[in-house]
Copies of this chain bind each other. A is one copy, B any other.
Amino acid sequence: MDVCAGPHTGGKLVDNRREHLMPPAAVETLAETFRILGDPTRVRILDVLSAGELCVCDIAELVGISESAVSHQLRLLRGMRLVRPRRSGRQVYYSFDDQHIMSLFQQGLRHVTEDAR
């Protein structure tokens, strides 16, 4: 337990913010979305997809891992609606689910690249 009798507003500030907390379901979903984005292999997959759709086979070759591993990762990305499949014959082509996701991905990229401050 802590008193925390510092210069802040005290209990009133805390009580006030408690009213505006994110719903637990939103917390879980948002965390899950970021978590799925937070893996180097999946970042590489999204990177190669950022120029347009690709079939699993080509993703595997570009990223340099097995098609099985790619499939598992695509399943996770699909689960959070980050990518979308399109079947054409034997191949399944994957692309960003929407422009929304793409800009989220690229905004993150901007953050880490322009971080030469």
Residue numbers of A with Cβ under 8 A of B are 2, 4, 6-8, 13-14, 17-18, 20-22, 26-40, 42-44, 47-48, 51, 54-55, 57-58, 60-62, 67, 81, 88-91, 93, 100-101, 103-104, 107-113, 115
Contacts and interface: CB of A to CB of B under 8 A. Distances in A.
B108 A33 contact: yes
Task: Determine the main DSSP class of A at the interface with B.
Answer: helix
A87 to B, nearest CB: 11
Q: Copy number of this protein in the oligomer?
A: 2
Contact of A104 (B13, B28, B107): B107
Contacts of A89: 6-7
A20 to B, nearest CB: 7
A34 B7 CA distance: 33
B47 A22 contact: yes
A39 B35 contact: yes
Nearest to A10: B58
Contacts of A13: 54, 58
A18 B91 contact: no
B31 A42 contact: yes
B108 A104 contact: yes
